[in-house]
Amino acid sequence: MILNGTTPQRLYLMQLGTSTIPTTPPTPGSAGCYLVQTSDGKNILIDSGLPADYTPPPGSPPRENEKNVLEHLADLELRPDDIDLLICTHFDVDHVGYHDAFPQAEFIVQREHYELARSGHPRYATARAHWDHPALRYQLIDGDIELLPGLTLIETSGHAPGHQSVILHLPRPRKFCWRSTQLSFSAYLHLIVRHGRSRTRSNYAPAPAKCWI
């Protein structure tokens, strides 16, 4: 689905949980996903977080401040059926755990990544029941594509074959809401946000739960 005649208007950054990575010194970590709302009322979700049935490997740092994507959406008075598109950066378990909660959405993923995962690659087996549910509809894309004016998907293989990232251009004044209980959001993220001529990568630390409207 290529959307014409609509543009991104608002971005929500949803913190799904935090942890402390046992490095020297300890490194704060966080997981998140994103909601983009467009000028014609479309809701575009980017990734969906860890599944509720996930069991972390022994010795993993404990997770804290957990709040799943459905809870975040409910706070915005949105239901799963209100999501029109779900952009999949890749199929690691911490990015696809609630995909099967959105059967009304159209899923956008790089063809290379989808075919690798469907071939049975063990890296993506843990959450296969969530991203490969028979009710889900996928649109496979090849390389970079402008999904709508102001939202471009770029193929960024490296972290995973066929990984994709999102370049989002928001209008001025900037319109995004940081839905976080923490003072920082240190994570491996997949989004570049542009405001007018400026460019801001998403791995920075604004104030918690503060909105710019």
Three-state secondary-structure class, residue 167? strand
- Please state, rounded to an integer, the average pLDDT across all residues of the chain: 84
| Domains of the chain, residue spans | 8-212
Please write the tens of the pLDDT for every residue from 52-71: 999 988 888 888 899 999 99
Please report the pLDDT score of residue 21 as a whole number. 82
Q: For the purposes of burial, counting CB atoms within 10 Å of the CB of 183, is it exposed (0-12), middle (13-18) or buried (19 or more)?
A: exposed
> Using an 8 Å Cβ cutoff, are 166 and 153 in contact?
yes
The span from the CA of 79 to the CA of 122, in Å, is: 32
In angstroms, how far is CA 57 from the centroid of its own chain?
23
Please tell me the pTM assigned to this model: 0.84
Cis-peptide into 161, omega within 30 deg: no
Of 97, 23, 24, 15, whose CA–CA distance to 64 is shortest?
15
In the CATH hierarchy, which fold is given to the domain comprising 8-212?
Metallo-beta-lactamase; Chain A (3.60.15)
Q: Which residue has the tokens 């028979």?
A: 134
Residue 128 — φ and ψ, nearest 5°?
-60, -35
Please write the tens of the pLDDT for every residue from 75-101: 999 999 999 999 999 999 999 999 999
Three-state secondary-structure class, residue 96? helix
Three-state secondary-structure class, residue 41? coil
Q: Which residues pair with 179 in a beta bridge?
A: 14
Rounded alpha-carbon distances, angstroms, from residue 196 to 21, 82, 86, 113, 145: 35, 28, 25, 32, 20
Residue 202 has pLDDT above 50, yes or no: no
Please report the pLDDT score of residue 194 as a whole number. 62
**Number of separate helices (H) and strands (E) present in the chain:** 4, 13
Cis-peptide into 28, omega within 30 deg: no
Instruction: Using pLDDT thresholds of 50, 70 and 90, give the confidence band for residue 207.
Output: very low
Please report the pLDDT score of residue 101 as a whole number. 98
> Using an 8 Å Cβ cutoff, are 137 and 106 in contact?
yes
Of 91, 2, 81, 77, whose CA–CA distance to 48 is shortest?
91
Percent pLDDT > 70 in the chain is 79
In the chain, alpha helices (H):
69-75, 93-96, 111-118, 128-131
